[in-house]
Amino acid sequence: MEPAAPRDPALLAWFRDETEADVINLNATGDGLELYRSVGFVVPRFPALQLRMVEQLLAPR
């Protein structure tokens, strides 16, 4: 499946021009990674980590 093209590149301009946001975080699938890189997103130096508490509580101890 081909990744969809950005529906509204103006959204990035809106963040830049109309908000005080310094960073936009995006969770991309492997299929979408190159698409988002093409509009300026980069892989962060320190990737985000996640812990799902429900799974942690259900795991055997």
Q: What is the domain count for the chain? A: 1
Summarised one tens digit per residue, pLDDT across range 1-58 is: 555 555 567 888 899 899 999 999 998 899 999 988 988 899 889 988 888 888 666 6
**What domain range includes position 36?**
9-43
In a domain, 28, yes or no: yes
pTM above 0.75, yes or no: no
In a domain, 26, yes or no: yes
* Distance separating alpha carbons of residues 34 and 28, to the nearest angstrom: 9
Tokens of 1: 């499946």
The torsion angle over the Cα atoms of residues 42, 47, 52 and 56, rounded to 10 degrees, is: 160
In a domain, 29, yes or no: yes
- What does the longest C-alpha to C-alpha distance in the chain come to? 50
Contacts with 39 (C-beta within 8 Å, 6 or more apart), sequence order = 6, 9, 12
